[in-house]
Amino acid sequence: MTIPTGGADVGPIRLLLADDQALVRGALAALLSMEHDLEVVAQVGDGTTVAATVAELRVDVALLDIDMPGLDGIEAARAIAADGTGCRSLIVTTFGRPGYLRRALEAGASGFVVKDTPAEQLAQAVRSVHAGRRVVDPSLAEETLVSGSNPLTERERDVLRAALNGSSVRQIAAALFLSPGTVRNHLSSAIGKTHTTNRTEAGLAARDNGWL
């Protein structure tokens, strides 16, 4: 009598790719599908559909871009974590900014790599994340430690986002249910924390650091 050894074949790791650029999605799908243990089961271009698709198709690992319509990749990772499906999120983005890394990990993402990561390393990152390990681009991790945490409060981030969209102080105040004076105080504080001279510069600096 032969006693079987090893566990049952559980099949390939099921992947979802979320990126608003179809060419990027297609390229990633082609590269990852060449790996025998990886299977791309869904591709989406809008962050709002990610969590529902993960649940419907029993996705194991979601590879998420940051800059997408609807929910961005960080908020999509947060939605996946909140659903409790067991799916893990790996941010794969052009924007290798320290602030984005910190926010992504706080939102529940298990990894953060940039898009120019070699295909073999990306596949290994997927496997590591699926196995429950955390994967972070080493140079970005070092830069994050040096740069420190996001100095802006939630309200300061809100007013800077609105300022970058070209809204006036009164428009920002109306949208956020604040007084114009309070908006000016938040803008002044944000300008000081970003070491800039006006609200536009402050917004750009905060965006470039991944704080918004």
Q: Domain-by-domain residue ranges, the chain?
A: 13-145, 154-208
The CATH-assigned architecture of domain 154-208 is Orthogonal Bundle (1.10)
Mean pLDDT of 164-188: 90
DSSP string, 74-121: HHHHHHHHHHTS--EEEEEES---HHHHHHHHHHT-SEEEETTS-HHH
Q: Is the pLDDT of residue 86 over 80?
A: yes
More reliable by pLDDT, 209 or 67 = 67
What pLDDT does 154 receive? 87
Which pairing describes strands 111-114 and 88-93: parallel, antiparallel, or unpaired?
parallel
**DSSP 3-state percent helix, strand, coil across the chain (nearest 5):** 50, 15, 35
Higher pLDDT, 7 or 187: 187
pLDDT score for 202: 86
Q: What is the pLDDT of residue 146?
A: 45
- Condensed to tens digits (0 to 9), the pLDDT of residues 12-28 reads 999 999 999 999 999 99
Per-residue pLDDT band at 161 (split at 50, 70, 90)? confident
In this prediction, residue 124 carries a pLDDT of 95
Percent above pLDDT 70 for the chain: 89
- Please say whether the beta carbons of 129 and 104 come within 8 A: no
Architecture of domain 13-145: 3-Layer(aba) Sandwich (3.40)
Structure confidence at residue 7 (pLDDT): 43
Residue 207 confidence (pLDDT):
79
- The model's pLDDT over 37-80, given as tens digits with 9 standing for 90+, comes to 999 999 999 999 999 999 999 999 999 999 898 899 999 999 99
- At 1, is the pLDDT very low, low, confident or very high (cuts 50, 70, 90)? very low
pLDDT attached to residue 98 = 67
Amino acid identity at 99: G
What pLDDT, on the 0 to 100 scale, is given for residue 123?
95
Q: What is the pLDDT of residues 106-146, one digit of tens each?
A: 899 999 998 888 889 999 999 999 999 999 887 665 455 44
Copy the structure tokens of residue 154. Answer: 């939630």
